Amino acid sequence: MIRALTSSDIEVLVTYSENQARVQHSFFCIFLRTVQSLIHSYGLILVCLFGHLLVTAETPADKDFHKNVRVYIRAHCSSCHNSAESKGGVNLDVYDFAFNVARRGQLFQKVVKAVEDKTMPPNNRTRMTQAERDTMVAGINRILDKALAKKDPGPQIMRRLSHREYGYTVKDLLGVDFDALAYFPSEASGGEGFDNQSRVLYMTPLLWERYYEAADSIMRQVRADDDLWSGLVPKSYQPSVFRRIGNWWKGRGDNPIELWSKPAIRARETILPLAWKTYRRFLDPQEEEELLTFFATVYTENWQKKNAFDDALAVVFKRMLVSPKFLFRMEANLPTNTPYEVNNLELASRLSYFLWSSMPDAQLYEAAYRENLHDSTVLRREAQRMISDPKFKRFSESFVPQWLGVQDLVRNHQADPNKFPEFTSSLKEALSQEVIEYFNYVFKQGDLLKLIDSDFSLINEELAQHYQVPNVVGSEMRVVHFTEQPRGGILGMGAVLAATSLPTRTSPVLRGQWVLENLLGTRIPPPPPDVPDLVEARGHVKDEFDLRGLLEFHREPSECQGCHQKMDPIGFGLENFDAIGRWRDGYREGTVAIDASGIWGADQIAFDGPLELRSILLQDKDKFAENLTRKMLSYALGRGLLFLDTHTINNLKNQMIKSNFKGEDFLIGLVNSYPFRHRRSDQVDQYKDNVL
């Protein structure tokens, strides 16, 4: 136990000793903190001083870990998963204490799963007996359960409005339509793949510049529209003729700072309510005063001009639109070690940005102000109201395309225009719309499993022509049952089928991967780097017909086999849909029949065609439930999911299965969940300054 101690080791020690009730806040902790600050301040590296502490500080949990887990790790895992080799990026050799295991909970959950499933140790190694497996799994679970017993809502960093949220907020606040997604530089995603994840919502000089120009252009639009403006400024102010003469004599305008002067009262009446809405909270007296003073300055400098009052208000509104108080959703950080409920207004914002991608409306504010939003009855009532509001469609628009990975279809998808001249931008728009409308519909119908399997979709005339369905007239999307072809559910949607194709042809591999990852949450590891990537891209492929033979060849025993035998059959099951989602009976102008059969899963179930494929997928509804839970939770919290979310995920997933995939119940459960309503303090670290 001789090695250099770094400050993170000390951090671990402190956490560790704090976890042990018997030494909480003891001299030992204080002593360690002191040592830590010494390391920070002086860069001291203390060698082996505390070695004996580490050894002697062995707890019952550690003994349990050593006896029931570590022995098996040493015997069965370490030969590959060690510091030198770290096979698959996993090194299990460094875990000597129970608290280390708890800190890498996600990793050890995977270990548990691999040992339970018997995927590890691999077949070519010494087998573990069932008793050994059970002991090891139980031992790890004891540590993980203990770690999860303490509720933790996870980190919550303030979120900048995503571009979509910015657009909708401006719409709801000022009534202006503003295409924020086109106006601001495009952004990447984080977490489980969404654009509302706090850590990737950067603020950069270019973006700030754009925010300023956007505020400018938005305010100009509002000013130009009398209806909008009078909505914001119900009572404008124009000095009377006498007043003007008087002002002209005095050489200055009405002093809006004088508390009871008419423009001052009017300005206060106009600015403050809008400021509350813009900042999504009440203002401090200083904040109010600062806004009114700014108004007064602008007004007094321009008092001779016509519309000086309104123009000055517009400048103040603009100033609010570029403030961090508007652009970021902030939550108070309380100095406490225990997680706490966010306040009512903050919860209102969490709700509205989750369900509406926008600010709360008057009714939600009213509820937040007069009642306790944390009360599950109130919360249920409000959530239900919001879900039945037309604005809920924004949830479908934002969440669904990102979850299904079809959000880039309109702007970025590249189908070969020579081969598919029919794939116009208007068609792409309609295809994207279909996904959103369909989700919205089945959500309200109450059965999310219809996403996987159904015999209908919502289409308009353009899509009907694309899908070769007769008798659909008009641009409005409506429910249409497919009687002639086995289409239906998201696996029959052109958006999904095109997004999983290459520019010139279909790709069974991509489609299979898509189903496994986006619907069932099964991660397919990438092909090893620095070897040829997509197997199917190898030569000899003139068109789709050749693919089957080629892929079958590559599924013969090899390093590719493991994954391709999972992915490819699913993709072949969908081969009757071409690269832009049209039905086809065969390849090469229908001259060569399509073989859409395959064998699915560990149970080797045979299927033929999309219909049977879908019903087989339905049997995996637990996986579907877990995946959808993860996606929605990550979207709701604006962060990637962590080990500490395990219980929340499991509870919500079980709820979903129990309620027979009823979307509304699930969302209400989600907004009632612990992390959605709680916050943990991100305390100002006294050592922070020394670190940097």
Q: Which residues in the 383-412 window bind other proteins by CB under 8 A? A: 402, 405, 407-408, 411-412
Q: Are 281 and 288 in contact (CB under 8 A)?
A: no
Q: How far is the CB of 335 from other proteins (least distance, A)?
A: 10
Residues binding other proteins: what is the number (CB under 8 A)?
Answer: 88
Task: Collapse the DSSP code of 113 into the 3-class scheme (helix H, G, I; strand E, B; otherwise coil) and give the result.
Answer: helix
670 sits near other proteins (criterion: CB under 8 A): no
Q: Are 151 and 600 in contact (CB under 8 A)?
A: no
- Name the burial class of residue 30, with classes exposed (0-12), middle (13-18) and buried (19+) by CB atoms within 10 angstroms of its CB: exposed
Q: If phi over 0 gives left and psi between -120 and 50 gives alpha, with beta otherwise, what is residue 48? A: left
- Residues of span 635-654 touching other proteins by CB under 8 A: 639-640
- Residues of span 113-142 touching other proteins by CB under 8 A: none
205 sits near other proteins (criterion: CB under 8 A): yes
Q: Are 543 and 558 in contact (CB under 8 A)?
A: no
For residue 495, give the nearest of 613, 614, 608, 412 by alpha carbon. 412
485 sits near other proteins (criterion: CB under 8 A): no
421 sits near other proteins (criterion: CB under 8 A): no
With CB under 8 A as the contact rule, the residue among 149, 188, 241, 602 that binds other proteins is 188
107 sits near other proteins (criterion: CB under 8 A): no
**Residue 67 or 199 with smaller CB distance to other proteins:** 199
Span from 41-49, 107-115, 128-136, 205-213 in contact with other proteins (CB under 8 A): 205-213
- Residues of span 210-229 touching other proteins by CB under 8 A: 212, 216
517 sits near other proteins (criterion: CB under 8 A): yes
Cβ count near 457 (within 10 Å): 27
With CB under 8 A as the contact rule, the residue among 175, 239, 446, 503 that binds other proteins is 503
Residue 284, CA distances (Å) to 21, 276, 291 in order: 41, 10, 11
Q: How far is the CB of 279 from other proteins (least distance, A)?
A: 10
With CB under 8 A as the contact rule, the residue among 199, 235, 250, 588 that binds other proteins is 199
With CB under 8 A as the contact rule, the residue among 37, 59, 109, 189 that binds other proteins is 189
**H-type helices in 356-424, by residue range?**
362-370, 376-388, 393-404, 409-412
**Residue 75 or 158 with smaller CB distance to other proteins:** 158
In the structure encoding, which two tokens stand for residue 541, read together?
């492929």
Span from 112-120, 155-163, 354-362, 476-484 in contact with other proteins (CB under 8 A): 155-163
- Return all residues near 447 (Cβ < 8 A) that are at least 6 apart: 660, 661, 662
- Return all residues near 430 (Cβ < 8 A) that are at least 6 apart: 459, 460, 462, 463, 466
Q: How far is the CB of 90 from other proteins (least distance, A)?
A: 12
Span from 28-36, 151-159, 441-449, 608-616 in contact with other proteins (CB under 8 A): 151-159
688 sits near other proteins (criterion: CB under 8 A): yes
- Residues of span 340-379 touching other proteins by CB under 8 A: none
- Residues of span 611-630 touching other proteins by CB under 8 A: none
- Return all residues near 241 (Cβ < 8 A) that are at least 6 apart: none
**Residue 447 or 533 with smaller CB distance to other proteins:** 533
In the structure encoding, which two tokens stand for residue 115, read together?
């040992």
Phi, psi values for residue 113, rounded to 5°: -65, -45
Please, what is the end-to-end C-alpha distance for the chain in angstroms? 29
537 sits near other proteins (criterion: CB under 8 A): yes
**Residue 194 or 482 with smaller CB distance to other proteins:** 194
Supply the DSSP symbol for 154. -
Q: How far is the CB of 621 from other proteins (least distance, A)?
A: 20
For residue 373, give the nearest of 396, 349, 405 by alpha carbon. 349
Q: Are 602 and 612 in contact (CB under 8 A)?
A: no
**Residue 358 or 518 with smaller CB distance to other proteins:** 518
- Residues of span 294-333 touching other proteins by CB under 8 A: 294, 297-298, 315, 318-319, 322-325, 327-328, 330, 332-333
Residue-by-residue DSSP string for 202-258: ---HHHHHHHHHHHHHHHHHHHH-HHHHHHH-SS-----HHHHHHHHHHTS---TTS
685 sits near other proteins (criterion: CB under 8 A): yes
- Residues of span 583-612 touching other proteins by CB under 8 A: none
- Residues of span 66-105 touching other proteins by CB under 8 A: 89
Q: How far is the CB of 578 from other proteins (least distance, A)?
A: 16
